[in-house]
Amino acid sequence: MTCCVDFHTHSTASDGQLSPADLVLRARDKGVRYLALTDHDTTAGIAEARAAADRSGLDLIPGVEVSVTWENQCLHIVGVGIDPQHPPLIAALDSVQQLRIARASEMGRRLEKKGIIGAFEGASELAGKGMITRTHFAKYLVNRNHCSTIQKAFDQYLGRGKAGFVQTRWLDFDQGIGLIMAAGGTAIIAHPRRYDLTATRMRKLLGDFRAAGGRAIEVVCGNSNREDIRDSARHAQEFGFLGSVGSDFHSPDAPWIEIGRLKPLPDSVEPVWKALGIPLNSVVA
């Protein structure tokens, strides 16, 4: 099902495969009308995406996906409708970039102990000017035939507890949400079903998120099934959150997640785009 809103996508500014301009073109071709670019811990792709959107007749919503630490766990908070040049936000994201480089260097050292040479340099080259992520390491491992697929690279080397995994202290949860709000944005909990939280911890998270100023939850993700959507819609209602829809598109090479291909938001959930003043009652399916 194609949807005219996609509020969660990645470009080469972080670990996406397409440049911001090419991402916008693909979104347009897939029928997306309102696109948020939400790269990991950076807004560097937004100027290019906005210029492409202006040429293509779709609306670019400036966004970011901030990595935060909540109770020793890494979570992702999507911010939409932000000022991508807001100085406190930029300063904090610059510090995360330094953190990511130091982490990547340590990942390279750990992988070297497992006989994998040159992973930091290789991943850095793949990242180019973009924010370096584990995805770049996964691609390096596949390119060098250490693993046959990206998924296996995470399963064998990069996932939590594996040899190349480096425990990282990301931005503080409240600080990350506060930065999004200070930059004029709306904070959304990204892919809530992906964190493997018990029901009790999920409720704790949702309560903490609301207390910190969070306003929305991603109810529909690119890989959501009906149960995921039902569960998140219930949480949205119970905690008074708006609902977002976002594919988390990264690459045309992973066709099971396509930009704009999203199930509709349930009627019981108030869409987050209302908070942004976007005059859409429902998603055109």
Instruction: Calculate Rg over the CA atoms of the chain.
Output: 18
Alpha helix ranges (H) inside the chain: 20-29, 46-56, 87-113, 119-127, 134-143, 150-153, 173-182, 199-211, 226-239
Tell me, residue by residue from 9 to 48, as one string, x for binding to Mn ion by CB under 5 A and - for no binding. ------x---------------------------------
The Cα 192–Cα 112 span in angstroms is: 34
> Is 154 a residue that touches ligand AMP (CB under 6 A)?
yes
Nearest Cα neighbor of 41 from 116, 147, 135, 122 is 135
By CB under 6 A, the count of residues binding ligand AMP is 10
Q: Which does 134 bind (CB under 5 to 8 A by kind): ligand AMP, Mn ion, none?
A: ligand AMP
Which secondary-structure segment (H or E) carries 246? strand 242-246
Which of the ranges 121-129, 148-156, 218-226, 273-281 carries the binding residues for ligand AMP, by CB under 6 A? 148-156
Of residues 68, 32, 74, the one with CA closest to residue 53: 32
The verdict on 193 binding Mn ion (CB under 5 A) reads no
CB of 39 vs ligand AMP, minimal distance in Å: 10
* Selected binder of Mn ion within 28, 76, 86, 136 (CB under 5 A): 76
Which is nearer to Mn ion, 55 or 169 (by Cβ)? Answer: 169
In the numeric block, which tokens belong to residue 215? 């306003």
40 binds ligand AMP (CB under 6 A): yes
Q: Which is nearer to Mn ion, 65 or 228 (CB)?
A: 65
Q: Which residues pair with 73 in a beta bridge?
A: 70
86 binds Mn ion (CB under 5 A): no
Say how far apart CA 251 and CA 149 lie, in whole Å. Answer: 14
Q: Which of residues 233-252 bind ligand AMP (CB under 6 A)?
A: 250
Q: Which two tokens stand for residue 121?
A: 């340099």
At closest approach, how far in Å is the CB of 259 from ligand AMP?
A: 14
Distances from the Cα of 147 to the Cα of 67, 150, 156, 253, angstroms:
26, 7, 8, 17
Question: Considering only 54-62, 87-95, 128-136, 237-245, which stretch makes contact with ligand AMP by CB under 6 A?
Answer: 128-136
**Contact positions vs ligand AMP (CB under 6 A):** 15, 40, 67, 133-135, 150-151, 154, 250
**Contact positions vs Mn ion (CB under 5 A):** 15, 65, 76, 190, 248
